[in-house]
Amino acid sequence: MSHDRMNRRPGRMLPALRLAAALALAGLAASCAGPTGPGTAAPSAAAAAAARPKLVVFLVVDGLPMRQVTAYREQLQPDGFARFLERGTWFAEAHYGYAFTVTAAGHATMLTGAYPHATGIIGNDWRDVASGEMQYCTGDERHTYLGHKTGKLDGTSPANLRVETVGDVLRRATPASKVIGISGKDRGAILPAGKTGTAYMYMSETGSFASSTYYMKEHPAWVSAFNAGKPADRYFKAEWKPALPDAAYAQSLGDNQPWFGTRPGKLPMTMGASAEKPGQPFYSGLLRSPFVDEMSLAFARAAIAGEQLGADEAPDILAVSLSGHDYVNHYWSAESRLSHDHFLHLDRLLQAFFRDLDATVGKDNYVAVLTADHGFMPAPEVSRLRGQDAGRMVSSETLGRVNAELEKRFGVAKLGRFFSASALVLDRALLAQHRLDANTVAEAARTALLAEPGIAVAYTRAELEAGSRAGAPLFDAMVKSWHKERSGDVQLAPKANWMFVSSTANTTHGSPYVYDTHVPILVYGPRWVKAARVDRRVEVADIAPTLARLLGVAAPAASEGKPLPLN
């Protein structure tokens, strides 16, 4: 069956097919429960079907460190994040288990349960180690956006994702189930949607949402109707105002810190302040505000209505990745008042969204899960004010110094070709031309990297492939981030509170340290989830097998997680 056919919204299952699916599910439930004995009846098909949520609402707050959830808890609304913290199960020590904690890697792990060494999503982008060509995590030149220009590295399909998601397993078991991903970023929609779901992403060129030709030939009527309303234009000249009085932000950094540089930030902030009419700069600017998340949730409501999500016995998955917090934190840091206030606005948006879910889907018909793709490091300037060693590195300068050391040793210039994701890639052509042993050169490059003031550890391809340094500092996490075919020759990690300079960010993420790995995992659904705080360490990879169990399907084949304790 062609992919297009698999992703058209199927009609309701015929009675015979419904019965067959229910019986299969009952058999699966019985086998998972173990052997039955005298007086122990296998669950009926009806009971098995009724036990599943009609809808899984999977929420991602891009770039939300767990420390913000707990720090601002007393300022939450009664039914936003507090719904999880007071009436759901929440995990106080949830972490990513790998080293290079970036957006695409996180979104690939969440619903596959697999680390980058299996998913192949080693970063937001990387270079082909042989050709040097840039690769984008969801790039696929065979497909284009519907109704929009498509650049060479724009994200249009999950072709680079090498493993299946919970949604893929669900749709294979129950073809009538629907899986929809929505996000302000293409990777935030495409990767959770998996191979057989449908992704819609915010288009910063027009302020609308679009899918790609990978999923369909034209948008459904409900998508066209939503976009016809010009949802972004309603925020032109709108003000992002603080949610609370100034005194409520005493624990956060004030606006317009000196190190904001060319990215000044102060509340209240007017959207499109210098523009005469809505256009691309205005639409892009909405990404650094609560308004892009408000639009994403509005589009999610339209999807629920347009696709009738959660309306029948075939369970559905709606994945919504809210991108604004990441953009705010990159610009102004998670310690800023702008980030603090953005979090409070998200809380209010979630409260309204949950109210609508209760009314439309039914409060006892869905499970909601909230997590993040990574945390955030404090800006180096903030860390230095706290008396910590911190700083910024320039990748081109670092590469130049490493190459100078390699040239001294081997007499060949520019043996280090480039940095890709979190690794140095050696020039294979030069190695072959000068008959240099790749492992010997990689060892020398590692020594040069460790001489840099901001590099903590570095491991070679030979070590990572063999797993020969198990237990060494950060090695296990770095193995999980390294992919044999796509990653480089010397994998590295910065020291805590150090970062590579970026032209688009004041601070960043992507390290194996707690500020980047520690994220929320919050679960709500009274029929399936008790109210509890869990303090033992869990991992984001545990979400996929947990949802698979709730949905009565097998965990994704590559999943490395364990089901979370929910009841």
Residues 214 and 232 in one domain: yes
pLDDT digits (tens, 9 = 90+) for 81-96: 999 999 999 999 999 9
Residues 371 and 485 in one domain: no
Total structural domains in the chain?
2
CATH number at residue 101: 3.40.720.10
Answer yes or no: is 536 within a domain.
yes
Residues 372 and 442 in one domain: no
pLDDT digits (tens, 9 = 90+) for 95-154: 999 999 999 999 999 999 999 999 999 999 999 999 999 999 999 999 999 999 999 999
Residues 343 and 398 in one domain: no
Average the pLDDT over 24-36 and give the result: 35
Answer yes or no: is 426 within a domain.
yes
Answer yes or no: is 125 within a domain.
no
Catalytic residue among 103, 112, 138, 174: 103
Answer yes or no: is 137 within a domain.
no
Rounded distance between C-alpha atoms, residue 389 and residue 454, angstroms = 9
Rounded distance between C-alpha atoms, residue 404 and residue 400, angstroms = 6
Contact 139, 438 (CB under 8 A): no
Residues 398 and 377 in one domain: no
pLDDT digits (tens, 9 = 90+) for 232-252: 999 999 999 999 999 999 999
Question: Which residue type does 160 have?
Answer: N
Residues 84 and 195 in one domain: yes
Answer yes or no: is 558 within a domain.
no
Contact 200, 214 (CB under 8 A): no
**Model confidence at 226: pLDDT above 50:** yes
Answer yes or no: is 214 within a domain.
yes
Residues 492 and 443 in one domain: yes
More confident of the two residues 43 and 361? 361
Name all contacts of 358-364 with Cβ < 8 Å and 24+ positions apart. 360/301, 360/304, 360/305, 361/54, 361/55, 361/304, 361/309, 361/310, 362/54, 362/310, 363/526, 364/526, 364/527
Average the pLDDT over 48-70 and give the result: 92
Residues 446 and 519 in one domain: no
Average the pLDDT over 311-316 and give the result: 96
Kindly give the pairing relationship between strand 498-500 and strand 455-460: unpaired
Residues 452 and 517 in one domain: no
Q: How many helices (H) and strands (E) does the chain have?
A: 22, 21
What is the band of 511 on the pLDDT scale with cuts at 50, 70, 90? very high
What is the band of 504 on the pLDDT scale with cuts at 50, 70, 90? confident
What is the band of 30 on the pLDDT scale with cuts at 50, 70, 90? very low
Domain that holds residue 426: 391-496
pLDDT given at position 50: 57
Structure tokens at 31: 């086998």
CATH number at residue 436: 3.30.1360.150
Residues 395 and 475 in one domain: yes
Residues 331 and 403 in one domain: no
- Whether residue 103 lies in the annotated active site: yes
**Model confidence at 385: pLDDT above 70:** yes
The percentage of residues in the chain with a pLDDT greater than 90, rounded to a whole number, is 89
Answer yes or no: is 1 within a domain.
no
**Model confidence at 18: pLDDT above 90:** no
Answer yes or no: is 282 within a domain.
yes
**Model confidence at 39: pLDDT above 90:** no
DSSP letters along 118-132, please? HH---SSEEE-TTT-
Residues 396 and 372 in one domain: no
Q: What angle do CA 342, 347, 353 make, to 5 degrees?
A: 125
pLDDT given at position 275: 95
